[in-house]
Homo-oligomer: A and B are copies of this chain.
Amino acid sequence: MSSDSAQPSLLTPAQFLAHWQGHRALTRRVIAAFPADQLFTFAVGGMRPFGALANEMLGMAVPSVQGMITDEWASFADGGATTKEDVLAQWDATTAQLSALFPNIPAHRFSDTLTAFGQYTQPGIDLLLYLLDNEVHHRGQGYVYLRALGIEPPAFWDRAHPDADAHAS
């Protein structure tokens, strides 16, 4: 994507981060809504359980932002959590790391063409949009799993970061 100075900016980096963290707060509520004994076992249609999808999200988030900062690309590893408690702990650690790291992305990196993880060549902003879209996509699948389990999912429109709930599971 090329920039066009005659057009307004729809999102600054700070606004993108706030939007992403709002989605991440909702994804955390979806993780928390799963019974601990279903998070890594239950799925529909032969797909991955929601715990595996959350591990994928965990494995991409911080390494991607670190790569955006340095243009050096670490390994792209699955979160590797095996329990609900571990997923939620990793989620909260990632939340703090993203807030600390994101402001350090150099301004030009969002429009620079990067080869992320040695294989995905695209402007930096497209990598970030992919992470966000991938999370919303898989979380939508988690909603179906919860409904199939007879559990009411959290409200899609609620992106608040309730500090009081940050460590509830």
Contact = CB atoms under 8 A, between A and B. Distances in A.
Interface residues of A, number: 46
B1 A7 contact: no
Interface of chain A: mostly helix, strand, loop or mixed: helix
A100 interface: no
Nearest to A106: B8
B134 A137 contact: no
Contacts of A19: 129
Contacts of A8: 3, 9, 12-13, 107-108, 110-111
A134 to B, nearest CB: 7
A7 B107 CA distance: 7
B11 A47 contact: no
A85 B72 CA distance: 48
A125 interface: yes
Given A11-B10, A13-B10, A19-B129, A147 B45 contact: yes
B147 A47 contact: yes
Given A3-B8, A137-B143, A137-B156, 6 more contacts: A1-B11, A7-B9, A8-B13, A10-B16, A130-B157, A144-B144
Interface of A: 1, 3-4, 7-16, 18-19, 23, 44-47, 107-108, 110-111, 125, 128-130, 133-134, 136-141, 143-150, 156-157
9 contacts: A3-B9, A7-B12, A8-B9, A8-B13, A10-B13, A10-B128, A19-B129, A137-B139, A141-B141
